[in-house]
Amino acid sequence: MTKLIILTGPQGSGNHLFSKILALNPQTQGWQSLLDKYWVGHEHEPFAEQWITPALLDEFDWGQSEVFVTSISCPYALNGEYFDPNYKQFVDYASKYCEVKVVLVSRDQTILTAQQQRVRGIISLDRFIDNLTYLSTLSPTFASYEALYLYGITYVNWLEQQIGLPMTTNAIAVNTILETDANAKYITPVTEYWLDIITQEASRKWR
């Protein structure tokens, strides 16, 4: 049966990153242009028009592939305004033609809110949280930005297994995508913390 994988999460959580990763999988038809450019605006996402008007999924050519991947943040920007995706309507239309699998993308909460404030000027995390009640009914898989950078292709292969894809074997391509961790610019080294002495003492005594 045809499958549609929906990647979604709070604005700035890593939708583009996971779209790049899944575009490497030879079985998927997704946001392939992200493999040629570091970043592409959402208006060029393959299902951008369908997210605005889900009824257009009735006209979509589902015969192009057995597995499609689409990505949407919550909220998403359109003509200078912010909108929550109409998840239920989109899923209801898509479910007539394929199995829908939802992947919820997460990122460190402190970094996420700092990124939203820096880039958008507002913190919109609550708008995604408000949609979790419905999204949770879809038996989602959770994808972690930090776990992806920590474990690389091992984590990619685990995620692929969870959503029913063959495993990507191109570790070089995965490592190239993960070359620069966007979290790094938000991290300030801590020279000393009150718990350090206690944990160091415990480590010396343990046997």
Give mean pLDDT, residues 193-203. Answer: 74
Distance CA 73, CA 115 (A): 14
Per-residue pLDDT, 207: 53
Distance CA 207, CA 203 (A): 9
Per-residue pLDDT, 206: 56
Provide the token pair at 84.
């929550």
Provide the token pair at 69.
């991947």
Burial class for 11, CB neighbours closer than 10 Å (0-12, 13-18, 19+): buried
Distance CA 204, CA 207 (A): 8
Per-residue pLDDT, 39: 81
Name which residue leads in pLDDT, 189 or 197. Answer: 189
Asked whether the whole model's pTM tops 0.85, one would answer yes
Give mean pLDDT, residues 93-109. Answer: 97
pLDDT above 90 coverage of the chain, percent = 80
Give mean pLDDT, residues 99-118. Answer: 96
Distance CA 162, CA 104 (A): 12
Contacts of 61 (CB under 8 A, 6+ apart): none
Q: What is the mean pLDDT of the chain?
A: 93
Per-residue pLDDT, 36: 87
Residues 2-50: tens digit of each pLDDT: 999 999 999 999 999 999 999 999 999 999 988 888 888 888 899 999 9
Dihedral sign from CA coordinates of 148, 154, 158, 161: positive
- Asked if CATH classification 3.40.50 holds for the domain at 3-205, the reply, yes or no, is yes
Identify whether 75 is preceded by a cis peptide bond (ω within 30 of 0): yes
Burial class for 175, CB neighbours closer than 10 Å (0-12, 13-18, 19+): exposed
pLDDT of residue 143 exceeding 70: yes
Query: Which of 53-67, 71-85, 94-108 has the least mean pLDDT?
Result: 71-85
Dihedral sign from CA coordinates of 154, 158, 161, 163: negative
Residues 50-72: tens digit of each pLDDT: 999 999 999 999 999 999 999 99
Q: Where are the domains of the chain?
A: 3-205
